[in-house]
């Protein structure tokens, strides 16, 4: 949860592009993409967090309710190696695109009347949908 590429929890923010061994959870989660867990490779090549953070611009995509909890952690909680995606908070030009299901646990969606979340100052746009909440 909260991985970027195949940078699992515990990955160093200085990690570089490398060959990694996939843990059981990652292999299980990828099973549907490979027509069964038996077909999922045991290794993968991934850009390291350090390599990713050297980019001029970062874009993170998150879709579906399965990403909601970890997206909220990555965006609204502190930077931690337990949630590799949280390192995007340290990048000067990162953007997250997500659907409403993935955004469901974000404070500005769940509780739009709360103006701050964790360490971030958020600007809440009071659209008619938000006002209904």
Q: What φ, ψ does residue 65 adopt, rounded to 5°?
A: -65, -20
pTM of the predicted structure, to 2 decimals:
0.78
The verdict on residue 1 lying in a domain is no
The verdict on residue 9 lying in a domain is no
Name, in order, each residue with C-beta under 8 angstroms of 19's C-beta and a sequence gap of 6 or more: 43, 44, 45
Catalytic residues: 8
Structure tokens at 25: 């959870």
Distance CA 46, CA 20 (A): 7
Reported as a single tens digit per residue, the pLDDT across 55-102 is: 999 999 999 999 999 999 999 999 999 999 999 999 999 999 999 999
Q: What φ, ψ does residue 34 adopt, rounded to 5°?
A: -120, 15
Reported as a single tens digit per residue, the pLDDT across 22-53 is: 989 999 989 999 999 999 999 999 999 999 99
The verdict on residue 89 lying in a domain is yes
How many domains does the chain contain in total? 1
> Which CATH number covers residue 121?
3.40.50.1360
């Amino acid at each position: 949860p909260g991985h970027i590429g195949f940078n699992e929890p515990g990955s160093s923010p200085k990690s570089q592009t490398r060959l990694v061994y996939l843990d059981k959870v990652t292999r299980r989660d990828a099973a549907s993409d490979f027509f069964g867990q038996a077909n999922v490779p045991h290794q993968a090549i991934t850009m390291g967090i350090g390599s990713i953070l050297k980019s001029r611009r970062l874009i993170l995509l998150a879709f579906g309710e399965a990403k909601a909890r970890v997206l909220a952690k990555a965006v609204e909680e502190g930077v931690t190696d337990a949630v590799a995606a949280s390192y995007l908070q340290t990048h000067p030009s990162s953007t997250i695109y997500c659907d409403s299901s993935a955004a469901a646990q974000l404070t500005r969606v769940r509780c739009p009347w709360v103006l701050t979340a964790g360490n971030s100052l958020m600007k809440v746009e009071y659209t008619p949908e938000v006002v209904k909440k």
